[in-house]
Amino acid sequence: MKIQLNYSINDLKEIDFMAVLPMIFPVIAIVMLFVLIALIDLYRHRKTRKNVLIWTIIILLVLPLGPIVYFIMGRKDSGRK
């Protein structure tokens, strides 16, 4: 009895992505919503935040953790005294 432990490119051709799309779409929509909310918050408070460019890059490139990290750590990063 032979057990296949890995998958190849040919196995990806057999996946019906239209059947998987209803499960993936809500996750993508929620992540994009978090990104949008984080960018809006960053833009509204850009004068009091330090490292606006760095936070923008983190929010956009480190999906899905970028917006979460921004809301946990970035909101504390203000220039107010």
Cα-Cα-Cα-Cα dihedral sign, residues 70, 73, 79, 81: positive
- Distance, in Å, from the CA atom of 77 to the CA atom of 81, rounded to the nearest integer, reads 11
- Distance, in Å, from the CA atom of 40 to the CA atom of 19, rounded to the nearest integer, reads 33
Question: Which pTM does this prediction carry?
Answer: 0.73
What pLDDT score was predicted for residue 34? 95
Tell me which residues of the chain have a pLDDT lower than 70. Answer: 1, 4-5, 77-81
Smallest CA-to-CA distance from 56 within 77, 35, 76 is with 35
What pLDDT score was predicted for residue 14? 81
Strand partners, 49: 78
Dihedral Cα 17, 23, 24, 25, nearest 10 deg: 110
